[in-house]
Structure 1
């Protein structure tokens, strides 16, 4: 048996797999976010450990874990966990969807003019390195005490194995990694007044990063000494979970954030279009992503705002139908945006509300707005050439057939729903644990799941979406300056 732990933004998921890779049991524990100021997003890492303890307790109630042979880790990317010389936390972690460091992105690229060539990416507020420049400027006393910077899942690893270790796919999202060489970049670290001494040791996702300490094993009810794999950032782990490991394999993720992901045989950066080029979790493989910051998070927001369960919103939409006329458009920029706009100040909004607008209309607009944003991302990924013919859907939002139908029409691509696609990164983490333990080849472990449904583009639905997508694409340029002015007024002194 192998265990995959996925440290997400809204919760921690644990998945147990059997000798053949089948899912035996799964459990989760919720997490909450803190937003002390506009654009800020933080979490207390101690809550991650508490969630791990809770999820493992729930998993033990379902299945005997005494035969567990390995653990894999996946997690939210880009977060900054700051530790002192005794590995004690200095402040709450600054997360991937935190947008406070927009000005520091320009400062970082000015400090190291080769930044985009080294990292393969445009400096964005969500990445880790600009957060450290923000801390140096606004919290200098804390910055002076920093002795180690870890990514979220790697802080969890520190609790598990007692050593600071990261892996290539997650490290690629820091702006401190030399992407082509798959090693830390002294030049990028120097641009943020850090050095190699501040960084964890690097391994590949399929390598053993350490072994479970006796005290952590006792707390979690697991066998001591079992190997912990390098693991992966959440999207690379999701790719491993659905067998998206060969060049050209692609998926669309409807998690808290939204992603269009394609695997590559080599390093193919395109920072000018705000495309992410990262290392994959597997040696010698890279990938590119178009990322939006609020996908399933947009539907969750609507559910909270209307006091209606997500399932009830989707049921109302099923009754109302997907191809209904109307002009209502939703911008899903609830936490800013990355691809293609790279604008932390961008905000969500509805356009076209009337006294006849129903809750089902709003649900439809939210699902369409996310699909339109992902369609823009697909266009950015294909701009340098290379057609993506179909996409497998993963993430919690992939449970909605209506959303997948909208995606197929908006992206003009078949969308494939797989069996167990909602398990996502935790399954990929368990697969990486199996590989690290030497229990199967890449082809055996990273097989593609069975296709449960294939959603072809519906011409009638595409025709209904077309005018709303045109309006969607005009709205951001019209509102961009107003977004920026609003954030400047609300910024803390």
Structure 2
């Protein structure tokens, strides 16, 4: 019975939602929940998220779980979340501006200067230098919001911000740190050039601790708001892409995974640190002495656009019935898609913008071969095929 089981609560802080799961010591899923939030785009190519929305969604998702499992059985909380989405906080742990999300395109004007500076110092980039990475985002803040930067006490990724809110502790883990372009993969510390070359003060970057280490314990205030017990341990956690790999059981060299989500990713496990400045991102694995290389495409952005553009009424209906709107619409559409005869497609294809890796904010795509016989279901099939092959 659930009343006597030891339960671990896991929460994913994603691009558009917090998703929570309760599992027992055998790994059996006891409860699931989610709560959505909506990133804002104050300017073309910019994507931001209010940290209060993250905390609200986290609290909603956790309280939903606790309606099915007792809080006294929850023995620990694990977190994962999106990477390269910095939240800047002051000494009182208050956020100073909205989170700049991973797919935000600002800062591209600094990329050539960053590459030139690294080259002058004899430093080989360990990642592709694009607006996606945290280094570019922080340079943009320093140059465009200097007073805010001066008041910054720490730079946190979303899961780290939630953990700070839960426990008061400030830290990050190697997986999130490793894709900021400010990480030393040999020493597992912040790279000296972050401050020496780019003026990103190391003291503003959080301590890096192993993903499996307990980073803090739930405060009384957080316990009151979430319904969890005061003192519940919270581990450091990891980046969402690494959590996917770990959950899929990928721990050995060349174990691989394809994930289609907001960010579609191909992942492979390495047992050596082999960075590449052009081809892929490399994360420190949550498993010690392992690395995860990833090539990314934001599958979910065009997918979400399609559903919101062509299935708006169905989404509203599902929300009114307290159903997961995207799951509801997808299930309905896919049942129609499966009935399509290949002859009906008549060459209809969707071509995604594969250069989104260089600038993830600029999603473009094209349907080619649209005819009068084509309906929503045909466009959906073409979209899914195009994205799966991207």
Q: Does 1:131 align with 2:131?
A: no
Distance 1:71 1:323 in 2: 51
Q: 1:15 to 1:344 in 2, by over 3 A?
A: closer
**Secondary structure at 1:149 match in 2:** strand
CA distances 1:156-213 after superposition (whole Å, capped 9, x unpaired) = 1111111111001111121111123321112124433212200111111111212222
Q: CA deviation at 1:344?
A: 4.9
- Whether the 8 Å CA contact 2:13–2:19 is kept in 1: the answer is yes
Q: CA deviation at 1:262?
A: 0.6
**Secondary structure at 1:66 match in 2:** helix
2:386 pairs, out of 369, 384, 388, with: 369
Q: CA deviation at 1:323?
A: 7.1
Q: Does 1:357 align with 2:371?
A: no
Q: Which structure 1 residue ranges, 5 or more long, are not aligned?
A: 374-493
2:201 pairs, out of 187, 195, 201, with: 195
> What is the alpha-carbon root mean square deviation over aligned residues?
2.1
TM-score by length of 2: 0.88
1:314 pairs, out of 334, 358, 376, with: 334
**In structure 1, what is the equivalent of residue 281 of structure 2?**
276
**Secondary structure at 2:172 match in 1:** strand
1:138-149, aligned counterparts within 5 Å?
138-149=144-155
- Whether the 8 Å CA contact 1:120–1:270 is kept in 2: the answer is yes
- Whether the 8 Å CA contact 1:111–1:191 is kept in 2: the answer is yes
**In structure 1, what is the equivalent of residue 348 of structure 2?**
328
- Whether the 8 Å CA contact 1:119–1:176 is kept in 2: the answer is no
Distance 1:268 1:12 in 2: 32
1:33-182, aligned counterparts within 5 Å?
33-113=39-119, 120-182=126-188
Distance 2:44 2:350 in 1: 21
**In structure 2, what is the equivalent of residue 417 of structure 1?**
none
User: Which range is displaced more, 128-137 or 283-292?
Assistant: 128-137
Q: 1:15 to 1:322 in 2, by over 3 A?
A: farther
Distance 1:153 1:359 in 2: 37
Distance 1:264 1:177 in 2: 18
Aligned residues: 368
TM-score by length of 1: 0.71
Q: Does 1:302 align with 2:306?
A: yes
2:27 pairs, out of 21, 36, 42, with: 21
Q: Which has the higher contact order (CA 8 A, sep 6+)?
A: 1
**Secondary structure at 2:293 match in 1:** strand
Distance 2:343 2:105 in 1: 35
Distance 1:84 1:192 in 2: 21
Q: CA deviation at 1:265?
A: 0.6
**In structure 1, what is the equivalent of residue 271 of structure 2?**
265
CA distances 1:240-278 after superposition (whole Å, capped 9, x unpaired) = 1111111111111111110000111111222222x1111
1:208-247, aligned counterparts within 5 Å?
208-247=214-253
User: Which range is displaced more, 113-122 or 343-352?
Assistant: 113-122
Distance 2:369 2:275 in 1: 38
Q: 1:271 to 1:352 in 2, by over 3 A?
A: farther
1:290 pairs, out of 290, 295, 320, with: 295
The structure 1 segments of at least 4 consecutive aligned residues displaced by more than 6 Å after TM superposition are: none
**Secondary structure at 2:136 match in 1:** helix
Q: CA deviation at 1:333?
A: 4.0
- Whether the 8 Å CA contact 2:142–2:149 is kept in 1: the answer is yes
Q: CA deviation at 1:311?
A: 2.5
**In structure 1, what is the equivalent of residue 364 of structure 2?**
347
**Secondary structure at 2:132 match in 1:** coil
CA distances 1:336-366 after superposition (whole Å, capped 9, x unpaired) = 711xx55654522323333333222211111
**In structure 2, what is the equivalent of residue 392 of structure 1?**
none
- Whether the 8 Å CA contact 2:263–2:300 is kept in 1: the answer is yes
Q: Which structure 2 residue ranges, 5 or more long, are not aligned?
A: 1-6, 315-328
Q: 1:114 to 1:75 in 2, by over 3 A?
A: farther
Q: CA deviation at 1:96?
A: 0.6
Distance 1:372 1:64 in 2: 44
Distance 1:278 1:118 in 2: 17
- Whether the 8 Å CA contact 1:119–1:177 is kept in 2: the answer is no
Q: 1:317 to 1:142 in 2, by over 3 A?
A: same
Distance 2:272 2:218 in 1: 34
